[in-house]
Structure 1
Amino acid sequence: MIRLEHINLVVPDIAQALAFYQAAFPHWRTRGGGDQVWYGTPRSWIHFGDDNNYITLNSAGQGENRDLTGSSTGLAHFAFEVDNLDAMITRLSDAGFEVAKQGADEPFRKNVYFIDPAGFEVEFVEYLSDLPEQRNMYS
C-alpha cells in the first residue's frame, strides 16, 4: 500500500491557514504541535488532521508564495477528493473564502479551486462515477 500521509506547508500565519482548513475539514482536529528550531530558524508547528491524514502547518513563512499563473518551479496545487463538493463550497464560503476558479466541465467529476491564506492553490474534486475509466476520462 502507498498513500499520501501528509503535506507539510510553511505559512506566514498558522491561525489564518488553520481557519481555512478547519472550514474545509470540520471533522479534523489539531493532533499535536510545538516549537522547534529548523535549520537555525525558530518556528511553531501543528499537525491538523484525522487519524490517517494531516496537514503540517509551520510558522516562519517569509515572502510571497509562487505566482500561480506563471511557470516557475514550485507547488502548483494539491487536491482533496470530497463526497459533496457543494457542501465544501458552502462551508468555505461561509468562512469567508471564495472559489478562485472553476474546474473543467467534465461529465464524471466536478471540481473547484480555492487559494488558502498562505497562497497555496487547493483543489476539491467530487467524482460522479465509481468507474475508473469514467473518473479518469479527459476530454
Structure 2
Amino acid sequence: MLNRRVLEKQAIMLDVTAKDWEHAVRICGEILVKMGKVNPTYVDAMISNIHELGPYILIAPGIAMPHARPEDGVIQEGISLVVLNKEVAFEPGKEFKVLIGLAALNSESHIDILQKVAEVISKANSIEQLKNATEHDEILQLFNEKEEH
C-alpha cells in the first residue's frame, strides 16, 4: 500500500494578500518552484495560459486550479494550495479565494491527485472549510485523510 501524501505542509500558504489574479497565481506557482516541483518558466506558462484561454482554471465556486503543460517546466508532480484573505476576480462573477497549483509530469501521472482534489471540492462543506481555513492541519486533513484503503 502506497500511502502518498497528496499535499505537504510546506505547500500551503494561508491568509495571503494578492493584488490581482496574476499575483495570486504567481504566489501559488512560486511555492511549486521553492519545493523543486517546477522551474520558474512553469509559473510564467500558468499565467500565459490564463491570458490566452481565459479563467478556465475555475473548477468550483471560489476555487481555481492554475497549471500549465508538463513541458513548460515540471520537474516532479505535486500541488500547492493558497488561501487568500479576500477573493480576487479574473472578471466580474469569476472570483476565487483558494488556488490549487498543479504540476503534472504527463497526462496520466496526476490522475490520482485530481481525483483527490475532486473528492475534496465535491463536498460543499469542504469548499467552505478551504476558504475559511486558518490552520495548515485543517487543509492537510481534507486532502490527506482517507489515504489507507
TM over 0.5: no
| Bigger Rg, which one | 1
Normalised by the shorter chain, which TM-score bucket?
under 0.3
> What TM-score comes out, normalization by structure 2 length?
0.24
| TM-score (structure 1 length as normaliser) | 0.25
Task: Give the structure with the higher percent strand.
Answer: 1
**Which structure's residues are more often helix, by fraction?**
2
